[in-house]
Amino acid sequence: MCAFRCDRIVFGSFRVTEITLDLAGYSSSLTSTTWSLPYLQTLEISNNTFSSSIPNSLSNLTHLHRLSLSRNSLSSPIPDSLNSLSQLHELYLDNNELNGLIPLTLNKLVNIKRLKVQRNNLSTRFLIWVLSETSISSMPEIMNSLVKFH
């Protein structure tokens, strides 16, 4: 599915609030994209073959409520820059090739309700953070499906 949603803010003026490229068959490097859509609330680019790392420029999307990068070929550690997405309610990073430690700075995501990181190569240091800092509704799912333990 491929969709864009724009909300009218002033007569004749619109702003992009949603981008959905789920199952669209795209393949590219996400790091070559500079994300500067200040009113974007949903970015859904799951089920494609995007590669490289998660771009730091996603931190420019400060009104984002939902970020879904699941089922791509993203690699490298999760960037600390995601902690600036303070409006984020849902973060889906599962089924990629992410590695390393999950940044403890993600505890700045105080509005997070749903977080999926399973089926990557991530460290379990994250479990300590989950148990002590969050009210994430998907916590049992996260704990049961992290595959690689370091």
pLDDT in tens, 34-75: 788 888 999 999 999 999 999 999 999 999 999 999 999 999
Q: Which phi and psi (to 5°) does residue 104 adopt?
A: -65, -15
Angstrom distance (rounded) from CA 53 to CA 49: 12
19: left (phi over 0), alpha (psi -120 to 50) or beta: beta
Instruction: Quote the pLDDT of residue 126.
Output: 55
pTM value surpassing 0.85: no
CATH superfamily of 3-145: Ribonuclease Inhibitor (3.80.10.10)
Q: What residues in the chain have per-residue pLDDT under 50?
A: 1-3, 145-150
The count of other CB atoms within 10 Å of the CB of residue 6 is: 12
Two structure tokens written together for 21:
């490229």
